[in-house]
A and B are shown apart, each in its own frame.
Chain A
Amino acid sequence: MSKIIVQGKAQGTVLKTSNPINFLGAVDKQTGVIRDKKYDIFEKSIKDSILVFPHGVGSSVGAFTIYSLKSHHSAPVAMICQKADLTVASGCALANIPMIVVSTEEFDSIQNGKEITLDTKSEKIFN
């Protein structure tokens, strides 16, 4: 675990994408469904997942989208990124969604669809 951005513990199924996510443009703020065809997780829901993606891009209002997802019980239970950006970091901080940044090797080793547990206190990702 290279860096803890927002502390916490979570358990869930990995939903992994190779696309940087534009939360404002690409995610439905009520359901958590990806609505941009260009994403490899198009039409999948990020709800209750451990969302693994390179980093956030695009509008600064994406932070509100993350907060909105949490309010509608459609948010991921945790987020794991390769690079931290302010939109995702601040959205997760306000919505209390654990968020960490990992190295490229760790990022590559996380498998889509796998059930994992993340605990920032022990600084570990358990398979």
Chain B
Amino acid sequence: MELTSEEKAALNGEQGETLQTAYRILVATGEATNADRLVPIEWAHLSGVNYNTIGDAGEEFLREISKDARVKVKTTVNPMGFDFDHISEFKHIDDEFVQKQASIRDSYIKMGVDPTFSCTPYDIFDLPEKNTQVSFAESNAAIFANSLGDLKTNKESAFSALASAITGKSPYSDLRKDEITTPMTIRMKMDNPSELDFGMLGFFAGKVGDTSVNISGVSKPNRRSCKALCGGMGTSGTCAKFQFVDSDENTSEKVDFGKEEMNEIFDELNTTDKGDLITLGSPQLGLEEISDLSKMLKGRSFKKRCMVFCSRAVQNQARNLDYTNEIERAGGEILSDCCTCLTPLIDTNETDSVTTNSIKGAYYLKNSTGVGVNLKPLAKIIEDETQ
């Protein structure tokens, strides 16, 4: 990779240890993605905020680096482990977790990030103009940015996005270029797919696709299904972009996604036919999804506990527009700054299984939280779990 003299100096430590570390990360990720230089980015989105995922080593690292690291560009951050406004209602979460989570939050704020604590930055802010270079670490957000937002990003890691935030730069990798080769088309062989089906399509595409895939046989769905597709794809593989196409003629590899492939994924992630509680929001719900949910819940009430995850910004907008009343009346608990994935809010001593419509949520509930998973589309959850 060719570096400017200024970049070389920073890599040699002439601007301090923090920038040296940041440039070391950018060079390694540049080598990994065949980049020949670094380019400026305008927005970084960081992962690695939940104490449950980064642990003591992560907490200490952030405390140390935040002493002098400051972000150079607009920087948003992923969810934490829980919602500080509601922590007293979750007695099983110990003080140490709360303190370590607060330390992580404070370290990021000290570095100058916008405290969004959301995996859906695209639901909070207007997206910059077409082809703008950004660095998004949250996988669903990176895929959304590339595929639906007309932006350019690698599927960044927690550290490569942090290095981009601190330097304002990222390797000029293949995904950042105007032309991306997409050798594979996935042919959707299913009528009227639900958001759950799109999540499974994404999970499948992540497994079989490399950097970018085409999807044929279905037109672009609504936003909820698009988010489900991004979430599923980000969970299972390295694929960072998809596009809906009319024909599979221009690609050398063609793979079908039909009933059989779908059932295989369903059986991998669905482990039980009933949940002790419901979680909605992985990725966190946007304003439109909250509005839809409030309409679906009109006159109905949840028969069991239901956690509804959305960003703080979306919750505030939803409160102003009175969308939250109906959800809370129906028994839904609206939680912000956290998400289904890897939240310690689900008490595994009391919860054996969770009902959700999210493939991303299902994967982490099953493999990381360690509970049973009952997968259903939202319409079916409302039908079965409310009265």
Among B95-103, B157-165, B214-222, the stretch in contact with A: B157-165
| Of B29, B50, B236, B368, the contact of A89 (CB 8 Å cutoff) | B29
Q: Is the CB of A93 within 8 A of B53?
A: no
Q: Is the CB of B156 within 8 A of A86?
A: yes
Q: Given contacts A61-B48, A89-B29, is CB(A71)–CB(B156) below 8 Å?
A: no
Q: Given contacts A63-B158, A64-B57, A71-B60, is CB(A5)–CB(B139) below 8 Å?
A: no
Once bound together, how far apart are the Cα atoms of A29 and B24, in whole Å?
23
The residue of chain A having its C-beta at the shortest distance from the C-beta of B45 within the complex is A60
CB contact list, B351-374 vs A, under 8 A: 363-364, 367-368
Q: Is the CB of B364 within 8 A of A25?
A: yes
Q: What are the nearest 8 A-B pairs in CB distance?
A: A84-B32, A93-B28, A68-B57, A89-B32, A71-B57, A90-B159, A87-B157, A60-B137
The reply on A113 being an interface residue by CB < 8 A is no
Main secondary structure of the interface of B (DSSP, over half): helix
Distance in angstroms from B283 CB to nearest chain A CB is 13
Q: Is the CB of B31 within 8 A of A59?
A: no
Interface size on A, residues (CB 8 A): 39
Once bound together, how far apart are the Cα atoms of A51 and B238, in whole Å?
19
CB contact list, B171-191 vs A, under 8 A: none
The reply on B377 being an interface residue by CB < 8 A is no
Report which residue of B32, B55, B138, B160 has the largest number of chain A beta carbons within 10 angstroms of its beta carbon: B32
Once bound together, how far apart are the Cα atoms of A71 and B146, in whole Å?
34
Q: Given contacts A85-B238, A90-B157, is CB(A25)–CB(B31) below 8 Å?
A: no
Q: How does the 8 Å CB contact mask read for B22-66 relative to A, with 1 for contact and 0 for none? A: 001101110111000000000000011010011111101100000
Q: Given contacts A60-B157, A89-B29, is CB(A29)–CB(B364) below 8 Å?
A: no
Q: Is the CB of A90 within 8 A of B25?
A: yes
Q: Is the CB of A63 within 8 A of B159?
A: yes
Q: Which residues of B contact A59 (CB under 8 A)?
A: 47, 53, 139, 235
The reply on B386 being an interface residue by CB < 8 A is no
The reply on B237 being an interface residue by CB < 8 A is yes
CB contact list, A75-100 vs B, under 8 A: 84-94, 99
How many A-B pairs with Cβ below 8 Å? 123
The reply on A57 being an interface residue by CB < 8 A is yes
Q: Which residues of B contact A85 (CB under 8 A)?
A: 32, 238
The reply on B154 being an interface residue by CB < 8 A is yes
Residues of A at under 8 Å CB distance from B? 3-6, 20, 24-26, 29-30, 36, 55-64, 67-68, 70-72, 84-94, 99, 101
| Of B28, B155, B367, B368, the contact of A92 (CB 8 Å cutoff) | B28
The residue of chain B having its C-beta at the shortest distance from the C-beta of A68 within the complex is B57
Distance in angstroms from A47 CB to nearest chain B CB is 15
Q: Is the CB of B31 within 8 A of A58?
A: no
Q: Is the CB of A62 within 8 A of B236?
A: no
Once bound together, how far apart are the Cα atoms of A86 and B139, in whole Å?
12
Q: Given contacts A6-B28, A90-B25, A92-B28, is CB(A29)–CB(B160) below 8 Å?
A: no
Q: Given contacts A25-B368, A29-B57, A90-B163, is CB(A61)–CB(B158) below 8 Å?
A: yes
Q: Is the CB of A68 within 8 A of B55?
A: yes
Once bound together, how far apart are the Cα atoms of A71 and B60, in whole Å?
10
| Of A5, A20, A30, A57, the contact of B31 (CB 8 Å cutoff) | A5
Other than A59-B47, A86-B154, give 12 A-B pairs with Cβ distance below 8 A. A55-B238, A60-B47, A60-B139, A60-B157, A61-B47, A61-B50, A84-B31, A86-B29, A89-B28, A89-B32, A91-B159, A93-B159
Q: Is the CB of A94 within 8 A of B159?
A: yes
Distance in angstroms from A7 CB to nearest chain B CB is 9
Q: Is the CB of B32 within 8 A of A57?
A: no
Q: Which residues of A contact B137 (CB under 8 A)?
A: 60
Q: Is the CB of B57 within 8 A of A60?
A: no
The reply on B21 being an interface residue by CB < 8 A is yes
- 14 CB < 8 A contacts A-B: A25-B367, A26-B367, A57-B236, A60-B137, A60-B155, A60-B157, A64-B53, A64-B55, A68-B57, A68-B58, A86-B154, A87-B157, A89-B28, A90-B29
Q: Given contacts A60-B156, A61-B47, A61-B48, is CB(A93)–CB(B367) below 8 Å?
A: no
